[in-house]
């Protein structure tokens, strides 16, 4: 199952994808034969279709409707032909002239490339091995695929959305309130009352002369 690393939820492939299975081989005495059964396959390619090299993998169609196949080893092999990096197992040209003779003869004939449709969040494969005739031992099968980021046949990702606009500049801080006006000045004190006007001096009459004495007779 494909998992979205960020969310942990199943990841649904939006495009068809391909998975390689490598190292289909058997024990030296024809025992311990490896096979893989897979359903949901739309197409497969062996070294014959990929590189014009005879394949050592037997292919059986189990269900055309469900796209189920069984791939079985037919050649003896050891751990020495297990690929450890891409150049050990995958040629970049259709004639495989860019790989070593050992890879052409011992690695490429033992692989198969499976095609799956879009809309899937994984695939299921059943790996089987027949019993050993002598001492028990184990075998393994290898598989790998290309991610969308590094496989040229995938369509490019849609462009990123434009960057978000920067936030508007912050408003300047509000101006401080104007200072309070000074308290009003007290009204001026009233002037002192004016003194009353001076009275004019009173006119005095001259005293009357004393009465005259009567004349003597």
Categorise residue 105: left if φ over 0, alpha if ψ from -120 to 50, beta otherwise: alpha
User: Residue 48: enclosing H or E segment and its boundaries?
Assistant: helix 47-51
Alpha carbon distance 153, 48 (integer Å): 21
Mean pLDDT of the chain: 82
What pLDDT band is residue 35 in, cutting at 50, 70 and 90? Answer: very high
Please compute the mean of the pLDDT values over residues 46-74 and round it to a whole number: 95
Give the pLDDT confidence of 93-137 residue by residue, as tens digits: 666 777 788 888 888 999 999 999 999 888 999 999 988 877 666
Alpha carbon distance 100, 79 (integer Å): 18
CA 154 to chain centre: 19
Q: Write out the E strands in 29-99.
A: 34-38, 43-46, 57-63, 68-73
The pLDDT assigned to 73 comes to 95
The pLDDT assigned to 152 comes to 47
Give the pLDDT confidence of 130-155 residue by residue, as tens digits: 888 776 667 788 888 876 544 444 45
What pLDDT band is residue 21 in, cutting at 50, 70 and 90? Answer: very high
Instruction: List, edge to edge, every strand of the sheet that includes 112-116.
Output: 43-46, 112-116, 17-22, 142-145
């Amino acid at each position: 199952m494909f998992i979205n690393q960020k969310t942990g939820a199943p990841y649904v492939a939006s495009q068809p994808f391909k998975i390689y299975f490598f190292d289909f081989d058997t024990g030296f005495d024809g025992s311990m034969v490896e096979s893989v059964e897979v359903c949901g396959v739309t197409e497969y390619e062996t070294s014959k279709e990929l590189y014009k090299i005879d394949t050592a993998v037997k292919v059986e169609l189990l269900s055309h409707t469900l796209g189920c196949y069984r791939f079985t080893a037919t050649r003896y092999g050891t751990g020495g032909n297990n690929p450890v990096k891409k150049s050990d197992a995958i040629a970049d040209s259709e004639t495989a002239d860019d790989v070593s003779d050992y890879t052409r003869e011992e690695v490429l004939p033992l692989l198969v490339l499976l095609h799956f449709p879009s809309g899937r969040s994984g695939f299921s494969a059943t790996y089987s091995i027949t019993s050993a005739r002598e001492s028990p031992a184990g075998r393994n099968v290898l598989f790998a695929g290309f991610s969308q980021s590094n496989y040229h046949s995938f369509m490019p990702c849609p462009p990123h959305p434009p960057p978000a606009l920067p936030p508007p500049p912050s408003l300047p801080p509000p101006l401080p309130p104007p200072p309070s006006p000074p308290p009003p000045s007290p009204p001026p004190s009233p002037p002192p009352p004016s003194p009353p006007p001076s009275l004019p001096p009173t006119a005095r009459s001259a005293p009357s002369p004393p009465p005259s004495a009567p004349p003597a007779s």
